[in-house]
Amino acid sequence: MGGPVLFPLALVYAVRGPREQFLLRMAAVIPLLFFGYAAAKTRGEANWPAAAYVAACIGVAGMRPVWQRAAAWSGMAVVLAVTSHLLFPVLTFERDVVLARTHGWGVLERLRTPEQLFPGMAPGPTAVYAPTYQLASQVAYTAGVETDTVGPSRRKSQYDLWPELELKPGQDVLWCSENGAAPPEELVQRFGSVEGPVKLTGVFRGRRLHTFTVWRMRTLNSAVQP
């Protein structure tokens, strides 16, 4: 993500940079090598090597002006290409992570009025459970409702530090997941019955980016608190 020029220059700087800048050189090469290896084992994230380019830019500042300009203009080209894709996507990718992470979340606003999704449900906002903290936080931000995480796919997050949701016996809540994941058994057993799912599709400029499935968890058992 540093661009076609800054990335190789970072490696050159790490190997052939001034000896007195050893710590800066290592600050550039170690993150690149470490996260490069990690990305070969699992799906990488664009922010992983970001810290390396801070030191790399210092190194490039001591190189010839032609390399400085090449790194700057190529980096700007990458930024403009990504930004234009976010605003006016032309190319189609099998898995467009950048576009999916920035668009298509507005449909989650419908969770604020669950009675429109499940006729007969009490009107007004209710708590929403999700399998990951990423989705739970998107629901909280977009719909303005209380959220929590539950299930085998959840990871340690701020939700583990916050108090558990305060639910009343007999209350209905929602389970929201992406790509069809059903509510986990540990959540289902807390309620009298389950209804759903209802599908919500998040689109941007005609492209389907998200498919959310929403389930109604009916009547919280009085003897079991989440």
Determine if the pTM surpasses 0.85: no
- The two tokens of residue 187 are 């959540």
Structure tokens at 200: 């919500």
Query: Nearest 10 degrees: CA dihedral of 55, 59, 65, 68?
Result: -30
Q: What is the pLDDT of residues 6-36, one digit of tens each?
A: 999 999 999 999 999 999 999 999 999 999 8
pLDDT in tens, 43-55: 888 888 888 999 9
pLDDT surpassing 80 at residue 185: yes
Mean pLDDT across the chain: 92
Q: What share of the chain has pLDDT > 90, as a percent?
A: 77
CB 106 within 8 A of CB 124: no
Rounded (to 5) percent helix, strand, coil in the chain: 45, 20, 35
| pLDDT of amino acid 179 | 83
Rounded distance between C-alpha atoms, residue 110 and residue 145, angstroms? 11
pLDDT at 223: 55
Separation CA 87–CA 99 (nearest Å): 9
**Per-residue model confidence as pLDDT tens digits over 132-165:** 999 999 999 999 999 999 998 888 999 999 999 9
Q: Is the pLDDT of residue 225 over 60?
A: no
Summarised one tens digit per residue, pLDDT across range 95-123 is 888 899 999 999 999 999 999 999 989 89
Q: How confident is the model at residue 226 (pLDDT cuts 50, 70, 90)?
A: very low
Confidence of residue 170 (pLDDT cuts 50, 70, 90): very high
